[in-house]
Amino acid sequence: MEKIRMTTPIVEMDGDEMTRVLWRWIKELLIEPYVDLKTEYYDLGLPERDKTDDAVTAASAEATKKWGVAVKCATITPNAQRVEEYHLKKMWKSPNGTIRRILDGTVFRAPILVKGITPYVPGWTKPIVLARHAYGDIYNSVEARVEDGQTAYLVVEDKDGNAVSRQAIHSFVGDGIVQGVHNLDASIASFARSCFNYALEHKIPVWFGAKDTISKTYDHRFKDIFNEIYEKEYTAKFEEAGIYFLYTLIDDVVARVMRSEGGMLWACKNYDGDVMSDMVATAYGSLGMMSSVLVSPDGKYEFEAAHGTVTRHYYRHLKGEETSTNSVATIWAWTGALAKRGELDGNQPLVDFAKKLEKATMDTIESGYMTGDLIPMFHREGITPVKLNSRQFLEKIAEKL
Ligand code: NAP
Ligand code: MG
């Protein structure tokens, strides 16, 4: 066939370890034979980040602002052990954090559902898309230990250092602890808009919960901002799309989600999102089946897998041992980016190709060919699942494609 043309590039952010290996194979076996692939390439692999003093990460985020669509491979966030392993100049920050700060985006995670793999919550027949507000709260908190007899205050000062308000938090009888957290109206508003926009694009309702009955100023501000923006900017659009916005207490949201069939966008405050995204991912099966996209308030997209670099598999791969690493979420990062590029450029063949690659991947699994992580979860009458190694799985998809 003649290769599908692209008019505008996708920003390609390469990564580390096992996912870097899968990255090359996905391009070679599933994309490059069919698409005249145009990318602006940034190597976010740890050695290159170290070499460029992490400038490459910021540059890739800036390029995403320019081109609008990026696809990212999983990357190592260095810790002390990695500093030694890679002889790093310093413990570089998380690339995802850096990119998120530059794009001011919200991360949406959605499970990839295939026939034969039943979620641990059997009622969840549709995907639950989880959006986490990735700013503030306990993630930028200040904390202190307090001793018996001491008092902690919450003091707000104006520009000149005059106290605007001063409240005693607690006069301690016995030792204890204290914490100060903050958030910003602008950040909450941009989170709300990102959620409402995503919901409109995917035609799913938005559920948001906080603890406004207990936290009458802090959490209540989240509730008010969501409600105000919804009423002013989205009510009509939601009605037209046949979807709705539900605000209720976080406890009530949790109960409703458990009883639901899925199919909603669950907007979470930072901590709730941290915890609930792991619960939701686990309930849908493997981390290898969870896709993720960062969307900025002005409509820039960065697609990636939700999992990491799968280090344990990579060490086996380096020793020449066979691996069976699930590449589905990484394939979805590519199809998400290609489809979005096609949509923005009015390039229908590119959109169609992305959908066909997704279908070929699902068909491969549904007909019984999969990576090891999915085998114990696969139950389909008349089909005995076959475990393939990392490369064979991609070759099998290529055959279907
Ligand atoms: P991980 O790479 O997600 O892997 C954790 C374990 O989950 C794996 O050892 C494997 O279990 C299973 N797993 C995850 N993805 C899989 C897949 N595609 N196919 C099959 N099994 C899969 O998390 P981690 O070990 O905590 O982190 C490794 C590195 O990734 C770290 O350096 C971390 O900084 C980085 N990381 C990056 C991102 C990102 O770039 N977005 C996100 C998270 C972590 P078994 O070994 O039992 O098979
Ligand atoms: Mg977490």
Whether residue 329 is predicted with pLDDT greater than 90 in this model: the reply is yes
Query: pLDDT digit string (tens) for 117-136?
Result: 988 898 999 999 999 998 88
- Please list, in sequence order, all residues whose beta carbon lies within 8 angstroms of the beta carbon of residue 286, skipping any fewer than 6 positions away: 326, 373, 374, 377
Quote the ligand 2 centre to 273 CA distance (angstroms).
7
Q: Which tokens in the block code for residue 386? A: 């076959």
For residue 1, pLDDT beyond 90:
no
Look up tokens 């190709």; give the residue: 353
Take atom 1 of ligand 1 and give the residue whose Cα is closest: 308
Cα-to-centroid distance, 156 and ligand 2 (Å): 31
- Does the CB atom of residue 93 touch ligand 1 within 6 A? no
pLDDT value at 45 more than 90? yes
Mean pLDDT for 145-165 is 97
| Residue 70 pLDDT level (bands cut at 50, 70, 90) | very high
Closest protein CA for atom 36 of ligand 1:
308
What is the Cα–Cα distance from 54 to 98, expressed in whole angstroms? Answer: 10
The whole-number average pLDDT for the span 82-102 is 93
Confidence of residue 219 (pLDDT cuts 50, 70, 90): very high
Q: Kindly report the protein residue whose alpha carbon is nearest to atom 37 of ligand 1.
A: 308
- Kindly state the percentage of the chain with pLDDT values over 70: 100
* Residue 112 Cβ contacting ligand 1 at under 6 Å: no
Q: Is 323 in the pocket of ligand 1 (CB under 6 A)?
A: no
Confidence of residue 380 (pLDDT cuts 50, 70, 90): very high
Supply the pTM of this predicted model.
Answer: 0.91
Q: Is the pLDDT score of 274 beyond 90? A: no
Position 21 confidence tier, pLDDT thresholds 50, 70, 90: very high
Mean pLDDT on 281-287:
85
* Local confidence band at 228 (pLDDT 50, 70, 90 cut-offs): very high
pLDDT at residue 297, rounded to an integer? 82
State the sign of the Cα–Cα–Cα–Cα dihedral 194, 75, 138, 55: negative
Asked if residue 112 lies in contact with residue 92, where contact means CB atoms within 8 angstroms, the answer is no
State in Å: Cα 230 to ligand 1 middle.
37
State if residue 268 touches ligand 1 by the CB under 6 angstroms criterion. no
> Tens digit of pLDDT for each residue in 179-206?
999 999 999 999 999 999 999 999 999 9
Looking at residue 265, its pLDDT comes to 98
> Does the pLDDT at position 58 exceed 90?
yes
Does residue 97 register a pLDDT over 90? Answer: no
Distance CA 225, CA 67 (A): 31
Q: Is the CB of 98 under 6 A from ligand 1?
A: no
* CA end-to-end span of the chain: 13
Both structure tokens of 8? 């505008």
For residue 269, report the distance from its CA to the centre of ligand 2, in Å: 12
Task: Say yes or no to pLDDT of 282 above 90.
Answer: no
Cβ(75) – ligand 1 distance below 6 Å: yes
Closest ligand to the CA of 274: 2
Q: Is 288 in the pocket of ligand 1 (CB under 6 A)?
A: yes
pLDDT for residue 286: 81
Is pLDDT at 244 greater than 90 in this prediction?
yes
pLDDT confidence of residue 287: 86
Cβ within 8 Å of residue 389, ≥6 positions away = 322, 323, 324
Residue 153 has pLDDT above 90, yes or no: yes
| pLDDT score at 285 | 80
Mutate to test the pocket of ligand 1, among 112, 287, 321 (most ligand atoms within 8 A of CB): 287
